[in-house]
Amino acid sequence: MLNELETAESRKTRDDTRRTVPGPDNRQADTDMEPAYKILIADDHPLFREAIISVIASGFEGSEILETDDLDSALAITRAHDDLDLILLDLNMPGMHGLNGLITLRNEAPTIPVVIVSAEEDKQVVLQAITYGAVGFITKSSPRARMTEAIQQILNGNVYLPSDIIRTGKESPQRRSRPEDHPISPETLNSLTRRQLLVLERMSKGESNKQIAYNLNIAETTVKAHVSAILRKLGVHNRVQAILSAGDVDFSQYLKR
């Protein structure tokens, strides 16, 4: 994503932190036009902020964008704009201290969806971010089309996980052996129906309910019912805990029956 931007003509640095990206019939900012979305981009890398603005301009025309480069000012903007539709939050900008910054922001504004945008590609960091309240995790290496798809999925009210990382992502040895991950026992796996195993397998790959419904050729409401049953049988409270528990499961072994 950054490579695409860095090969383009350099843009003039702007002092303002608010922009309205033009709509199809309004190539200049129009203060009389109601923005499609109001989005805060909190990232200390100016080039990446420009890249995200470009994604929003092409995919979400008419949206109002606020910008900042540290956690303290992100908190201040959040207090002043409780009508934000989305916050795109860099994991490593000043003041964040890793996922502590996410927790602080979620405590300050629990109703505003927050998406982590980071160069980090450790699967456990991705899952921990969701556990701590993020509604999505977008890697900075994602192509434009995938970023647009991810943002749209989140604005539609869904959680976005990078399926490539969830499926094959690397984990540090310390994180992989955490006792709180609670691997699923063979007895519990055998208590799941074949369809529930198929749903859990696709959940563990980072697929959304909509994607699972499409791939298994079933209704999305049926997927939701299966997910609820899976969480209950596994004794976990949310989707992320189920994914963590299923991390080392060889589903082919149980799907043979």
pLDDT in tens, 200-230: 988 887 777 888 999 999 999 999 999 999 9
> What is the band of 43 on the pLDDT scale with cuts at 50, 70, 90?
very high
pLDDT in tens, 81-115: 999 999 999 999 999 988 889 989 988 888 899 99
Is residue 40 helix, strand or coil? strand
Does position 137 have pLDDT exceeding 80, yes or no? yes
Q: Could you give all domains of the chain from N- to C-terminal order, each with its CATH number?
A: 2-168 (3.40.50.2300), 178-255 (1.10.10.10)
> What is the band of 50 on the pLDDT scale with cuts at 50, 70, 90?
very high
The closest alpha carbon to 218, from 234, 199, 203, 205, belongs to 199
Strand order in the sheet with 136-139: 18-20, 64-68, 38-42, 86-90, 114-118, 136-139
Total count of residues recorded for the chain? 257
* Mean per-residue pLDDT of the chain: 81
Predicted local distance difference test score (pLDDT) of residue 255 = 84
> What is the band of 29 on the pLDDT scale with cuts at 50, 70, 90?
very low
Does position 30 have pLDDT exceeding 50, yes or no? no
Q: Are 116 and 137 in contact (CB under 8 A)?
A: yes
Predicted local distance difference test score (pLDDT) of residue 179 = 36
Pairwise pLDDT comparison (249 vs 80), residue with the higher score: 80
Does position 11 have pLDDT exceeding 80, yes or no? no
Predicted local distance difference test score (pLDDT) of residue 125 = 87
Predicted local distance difference test score (pLDDT) of residue 244 = 75
| Axis-axis angle for helices 220-234, 194-203 (nearest 10) | 90
Say if strands 64-68 and 18-20 run parallel, antiparallel, or are unpaired: antiparallel
Does position 63 have pLDDT exceeding 50, yes or no? yes
